[in-house]
């Protein structure tokens, strides 16, 4: 296959000899916004992330294989991909472990008031907080029961939580006490002690989760895509890693909101990602 590799796959150049041994011909593009290094008609497959945000997919008339380095499909014109019968793969499972660990860390940071203790340490102040909370026994609702949601469920269940999944398909899944349909989403949001959002962004999920429905003592964690969660009238603690517009505007009131932890779309980062992604890509190319 004639493959266009991009710098979205950090280990791409290291694996070029291996891909060539498998019979693939390779060209490499470090920055996806840069001009293409070959005639688009040459390209039969690509390993990329946001390539089609900068180069219309329609300029690749012989494209038949896409491997994304992201989990979400929101940067790809899926209607066109389906119409043309292009084989497409995402990075399912690659980032699930660090994202689940991030969710746990964020909730525990709020429950144990770690940001305030850090401020006290910086100021050399010894002051107890006798209102810390326990995670054990809490009702954790996970919206989206794919790989990321499942890894979250595994960890929250280990802390003694009741774990409820909200999913398009209702079925029994390990680590969840039960799975309910999206029709029950509003009820589950209203009763959640912790709400973890791991849904992919689609036309149907945009604005699906309403933060205003959460209890004041609940914790919201969004590690999916910013537009999935409507943050208007946020009245509870929150761990927010993704936003509708990124970077987050320096003037956004979220920066100074009480009990809100903000991170720069960083929850997916972990030292095991590169190995998992390369294994997945090589497996899909060797079919």
- For the segment 69-92, what is each residue's pLDDT rounded down to a tens digit? 999 999 999 999 999 999 999 999
As a whole number of angstroms, the distance between CA 21 and CA 278 comes to 16
Q: Please answer whether residues 236 and 215 qualify as being in contact, where contact means their C-beta atoms are separated by less than 8 angstroms.
A: yes
Residue 83 to residues 36, 43, 58, 79: CA-CA distances in angstroms? 24, 18, 12, 6
- Tokens in use for 244? 């509708």
- Tokens in use for 25? 């011909």
Sign of the CA dihedral 103, 104, 108, 114? negative
Q: Please answer whether residues 47 and 3 qualify as being in contact, where contact means their C-beta atoms are separated by less than 8 angstroms.
A: yes
Q: How far from chain centre, in Å, is Cα 133?
A: 27
Residue 29 confidence (pLDDT) above 90? yes
- Tokens in use for 171? 């079925």
Q: Which residue, 208, 192, 105, is CA-closest to 152?
A: 105
As a whole number of angstroms, the distance between CA 208 and CA 82 comes to 25
Q: Which residues 6+ apart lie within 8 Å of 127 measured at CB?
A: 120
Q: Which residue, 283, 284, 281, 287, is CA-closest to 5?
A: 281
Mean pLDDT over 271-283 rounds to 97
Is the peptide bond preceding residue 282 cis, with omega within 30 degrees of 0? no
Q: Give the orientation angle of helix 96-111 with respect to helix 147-158, to 10 degrees.
A: 40
Q: Which residue, 287, 284, 277, is CA-closest to 12?
A: 277
215-225: per-residue pLDDT in tens? 999 999 999 99
177-209: per-residue pLDDT in tens? 999 999 999 999 999 999 999 999 999 999 999
Q: What is the pTM of this model?
A: 0.93
**pLDDT the model gives residue 130:** 97
Q: Which residue, 240, 247, 201, 238, is CA-closest to 220?
A: 238
**pLDDT the model gives residue 148:** 97
């Amino acid at each position: 296959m004639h493959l266009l590799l991009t710098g979205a796959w950090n280990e791409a150049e290291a694996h070029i000899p291996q891909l060539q041994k498998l019979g693939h011909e390779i060209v490499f593009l470090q920055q996806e916004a840069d001009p293409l290094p070959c005639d688009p008609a040459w390209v039969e497959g690509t390993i990329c992330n946001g390539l089609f945000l900068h180069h219309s997919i329609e300029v690749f008339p012989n494209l038949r294989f896409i491997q994304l380095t992201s989990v979400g499909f929101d940067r790809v014109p899926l209607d066109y991909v389906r119409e043309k019968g292009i084989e497409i793969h995402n990075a399912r499972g690659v980032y699930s472990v660090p994202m689940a660990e991030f969710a746990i860390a964020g909730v525990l940071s709020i429950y144990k008031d770690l940001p305030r203790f850090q401020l006290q340490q910086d100021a050399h102040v010894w002051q107890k907080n006798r209102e810390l909370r326990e995670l054990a026994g809490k009702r954790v609702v996970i919206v989206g029961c794919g790989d990321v949601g499942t890894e979250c469920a595994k960890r929250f269940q280990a802390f003694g939580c009741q774990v409820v999944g909200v999913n398009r398909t209702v079925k029994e899944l390990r680590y969840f006490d039960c799975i309910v349909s999206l029709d029950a989403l509003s009820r589950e949001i209203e009763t959640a002690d912790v709400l973890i959002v791991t849904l992919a962004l689609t036309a149907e999920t945009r604005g699906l989760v309403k933060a205003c429905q959460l209890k004041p003592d609940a914790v919201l964690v969004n590690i999916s895509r910013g537009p999935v969660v409507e943050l208007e009238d946020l009245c509870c603690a929150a761990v927010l890693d993704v936003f509708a517009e990124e970077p987050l505007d320096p003037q956004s009131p979220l920066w100074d909101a009480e009990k809100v932890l903000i991170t720069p779309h960083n929850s997916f980062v972990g030292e095991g990602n590169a190995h998992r992604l390369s294994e997945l890509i090589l497996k899909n190319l060797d079919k």
